[in-house]
Amino acid sequence: MYKINIELCDICCSCSAVCPTDAIFYTEFYAKIEQSKCIDCGKCAILCPVSAIETEEATSAN
Ligand code: SF4
Ligand code: SF4
């Protein structure tokens, strides 16, 4: 599962351009991944210039 660290994200908007499933959207302050659309391809994490996108094991509450 990929997640965006909202403290690192500077909303450069490049991650949504490579997402094959349109899973990334933007709020006023950061980018967010719609988990139901994400297929864990990892493309966004590779290109993020500030390494804000990280994998997270499925240990979170939901
Ligand atoms: S891991 Fe792939 S599918 Fe998921 S948000 Fe990133 S680019 Fe989109
Ligand atoms: S590529 Fe990284 S810094 Fe740019 S909008 Fe996406 S998560 Fe934020």
The residues lining ligand 1, judged by C-beta closer than 6 Å to any ligand atom, are: 2, 18-21, 23-24, 33, 38-44
* Residue 56 confidence (pLDDT): 83
The distance in angstroms from the start CA to the end CA of the chain is: 11
Per-residue confidence at 58, pLDDT binned at 50, 70, 90?
A: low
pLDDT at 3: 96
pTM: 0.88
> Which pLDDT does position 43 carry in this prediction?
97
User: If you measure from the C-alpha of residue 34 to the centroid of ligand 1, how many angstroms do you get, rounded to a whole number?
Assistant: 9
Q: Is the shortest distance between the CB of 33 and ligand 2 below 6 Å?
A: no
Q: How far is the CA of 45 from the centre of ligand 1 (A)?
A: 8
Q: What is the pLDDT of residues 11-40, one digit of tens each?
A: 999 999 999 999 999 999 999 999 999 999
Contact 2, 52 (CB under 8 A): no
Domains defined along the chain, listed by start: 2-55 (3.30.70.20)
